[in-house]
């Protein structure tokens, strides 16, 4: 079990191998502050070490995913020195990095509004499934600020062209646009959101646990590397290692013998 002491973060286990980390402050539209950021960082660090967890769902209670930064936190930041602001921003940057680099598969489950830093949370997840009523906004410039700490992940998720537009206009865009630019990969009606996310989890759980983690690592490790001799050697080494691994051998033998692999045996 993952230890969490912040009541604004609710943790459940909807199915075996899956953890749901849910923002739990619907009265404030799940806005987050420095204390919640610290709690999320701690939870993500725990999850990364937990082999029994294979999928993390990032969700939120209530009508909206998250309004981004809490207003009282923003008021406190306005009185910080430059050094204090840098430390505060680094805490957020660290939390986002932990989420982005979790070895487990991650799914953002989005309903209603996802504004400001919440777009960063969605972008750090491997997949994002959103309801038809979801909407998004990178609103920082309206306040004379910039979406700095979330920008590496948002740019990767929705591309440089769209980021140039929405970083500067701060316009609200709907879930259809979010799907078109790559921020969201599936849209469903609000009533079937839980079921749609559960189906995605089942797809992941049906695959080799170590293979899923190593497949995710391929994207993180190679997305910005030039395809040169070192990449050819590295990718060849990785597949060779997996082929002779216990899981790789089990998967191949199960396929050739037309039987379920051992990671599926408890589901048959």
Total length of the chain: 268
Give backbone dihedrals phi and psi of 24, rounded to 5 degrees, phi first: -130, 55
Kindly indicate the confidence band of residue 141, based on its pLDDT and cuts at 50, 70 and 90.
very high
Distance CA 248, CA 241 (A): 9
Distance CA 58, CA 122 (A): 8
Q: Is the dihedral of CA 174, 178, 184, 189 positive or negative?
A: positive
Tokens coding 57:
């769902």
Question: What domains can be seen in the chain, in order of their start residue?
Answer: 9-204 (3.90.226.10), 208-267 (1.10.12)
Q: In the predicted model, what is the mean pLDDT of residues 190-201?
A: 98
Q: Helices in the chain by DSSP H: which ranges?
A: 34-48, 71-78, 82-100, 117-124, 151-169, 175-180, 193-205, 209-222, 229-243, 246-256
Contact status, residue 11 vs residue 51, Cβ threshold 8 Å: no
* pLDDT at residue 266 in the model: 56
Distance CA 30, CA 117 (A): 11
User: What interhelical angle do 151-169 and 117-124 show, nearest 10?
Assistant: 140
Q: In the predicted model, what is the mean pLDDT of residues 171-198?
A: 98
Distance CA 6, CA 48 (A): 19
Distance CA 73, CA 4 (A): 21
* pLDDT at residue 77 in the model: 85
Q: In the predicted model, what is the mean pLDDT of residues 170-183?
A: 98
- Render pLDDT for 55-91 as a digit per residue (tens, 0 to 9): 999 999 999 999 998 988 888 888 899 999 999 999 9
206-210 own/partner pairs: CB under 8 Å, 24+ apart: 206/264, 206/267, 208/247, 208/248, 208/250, 208/251, 208/261, 208/263, 209/54, 209/247, 209/263, 210/242, 210/245, 210/247
Task: Sort 70 into a burial class: Cβ within 10 Å, 0-12 / 13-18 / 19+.
Answer: buried
**Given a cut of 90, is residue 136 above it in pLDDT?**
yes
């Amino acid at each position: 079990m993952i230890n969490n002491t912040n009541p604004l973060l609710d943790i459940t286990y909807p199915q075996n191998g899956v953890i749901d980390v849910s923002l739990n402050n619907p009265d404030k539209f799940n806005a987050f502050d420095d204390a919640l950021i610290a709690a999320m960082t701690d939870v993500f660090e725990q999850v990364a070490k937990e082999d029994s967890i294979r999928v993390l769902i990032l969700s939120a209670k209530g009508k909206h995913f998250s309004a981004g930064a809490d207003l009282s936190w923003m008021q406190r930041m306005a009185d910080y020195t430059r050094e204090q602001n840098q430390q505060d921003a680094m805490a957020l940057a660290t939390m986002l990095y932990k989420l982005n680099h979790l070895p487990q598969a991650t799914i953002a489950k989005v309903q209603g509004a996802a504004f400001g830093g919440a777009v960063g949370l969605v972008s750090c997840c491997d997949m994002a499934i959103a309801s038809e009523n979801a909407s998004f906004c990178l609103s920082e410039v309206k306040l004379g600020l910039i979406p700095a700490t979330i920008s590496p992940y948002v740019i990767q998720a929705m591309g440089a062209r769209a980021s140039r537009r929405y970083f500067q206009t701060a316009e609200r865009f709907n879930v259809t646009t979010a799907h078109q630019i790559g921020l969201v990969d599936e849209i469903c009606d609000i009533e079937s959101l839980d079921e749609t996310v559960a189906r995605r989890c089942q797809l992941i759980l049906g695959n080799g646990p170590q293979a899923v983690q190593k497949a995710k690592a391929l994207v993180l490790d190679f997305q910005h590397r030039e395809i040169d001799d070192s990449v050819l050697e590295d990718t060849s080494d990785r597949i060779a290692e997996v082929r002779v691994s216990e899981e790789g051998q089990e998967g191949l033998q199960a396929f050739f013998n037309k039987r379920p692999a051992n990671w599926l045996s408890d589901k048959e």
